[in-house]
A and B are shown apart, each in its own frame.
Chain A
Amino acid sequence: MAVFLTTLVLFLAALGLHLLVWKIRLPRFHTRTLLLLCALVLFLWLVTLTVRPMSWPEVAHVCLFYISLSLCYVITYSAFEADSPTLSLIRHAHEAAGQGMSSAEVHLFLEKRPFVKARLAALTHDGLVREENGRYFAVGGGSIFFRVILAFRKLYGPIQEGG
């Protein structure tokens, strides 16, 4: 029970800190800042263990549970940060409930939301690619995270195209 409650308190503290920081000022790199805040909370808790010790397996259990919950939140946060084309369209259709939307209105709505350009801009903003004379290049060896995703993709074999 101590593991469950400790993790819950730590996770809520991280969420509280996240909301507080975001209300003060939106950070430039959302995901990185969020990961740092979660790590900071865990680190501070580990420091307090010198005063209120716990057994090593319990500490490891709290760390595992807390890290998995934090990663869950960080992943879910990316859905808040970037718009989902499907959900945006559904929301728009819901708002236009009785009247519906003509094909021209749908296309105008989507034209105002260039999702591919936005993803490309996000890659540039995160320093993963750079633009030079109208061409895009991967920066350095690329992010470890992206390389791991690409390596993992190969385990599946070829995949279908689609958005």
Chain B
Amino acid sequence: MRIWWPVIAPIAALAVNVLGQIVVFRLQHGRHFLRSIALGFILGGAALTIAQFICPPGPDSLEAWSKALLVNLPCYAALSYCFFNFANLGQSSIRVRIYARVAARSDGVSVAEIARDYNEAMLMEMRLLRLVESGDLVLRDGRYFLGRARFVPIARVIFGIKRLILGKVSEFE
């Protein structure tokens, strides 16, 4: 069992993370999704650390412990990132929401119904409003200006990688 523990530990930590996130999110009545994700991640991280203390991976504990953490910390972080994206898909992905709507109806869904529920203009207005409210865009004299620049480096990285891998910066090009 001891030799398998380094493999089991990140999976067990992920299980704690997932359970913790679901419980926290439900206790908050479906609000503060990101906060529940962060709390779940912290709970899982704590479980991973405790697991490493309870069952150190070798007799020369400090060295073996450090080596196991060198793999298990990024491994747990990677698994948690996957979980976050998986959970987030169900929360905010337009693609998943449309699919859920289509899959729920055996008689299919018309383009008009989809357009009504997922009105492009309305979604964009909401998004624009959110960006203005968060200060990322500033409305001045009837024109939109860049406000907080926090998304700019992320956009630069994403669009740079898109250009490198796909040879274009937009799917609409």
Interface residues on B, range: 35 or more
* CB-contact partner of B71 in A3, A85, A99, A117, under 8 A: A3
Verify B103–A100 contact, CB threshold 8 A: no
Residue of B nearest to A132 (CB): B108
Secondary structure type dominating chain B contacts = helix
Tell me whether B50 is interfacial, beta carbon within 8 Å.
no
Verify A142–B142 contact, CB threshold 8 A: no
Complex CA distance for A107 and B120, rounded to whole angstroms? 10
Report B-chain residues with C-beta under 8 Å of the C-beta of A94: 146, 149, 152, 155
**Do A163 and B94 contact each other (CB < 8 Å), given the known contacts A79-B158, A90-B155, A138-B102?**
yes
Contact with B along A1-33 (1 / 0, CB 8 A): 101100100000000000100100010000000
- Interface set of B (CB-CB < 8 Å, partner A): 3-4, 6-7, 10-11, 22, 25-26, 30, 67, 70-71, 74-75, 78-79, 81-82, 85-87, 89-92, 94-96, 98-100, 102-103, 107-111, 114-115, 118, 120-121, 123-124, 126-128, 131, 136-137, 140, 142-146, 149, 151-152, 154-155, 158-159, 161-162, 165-167, 170-172
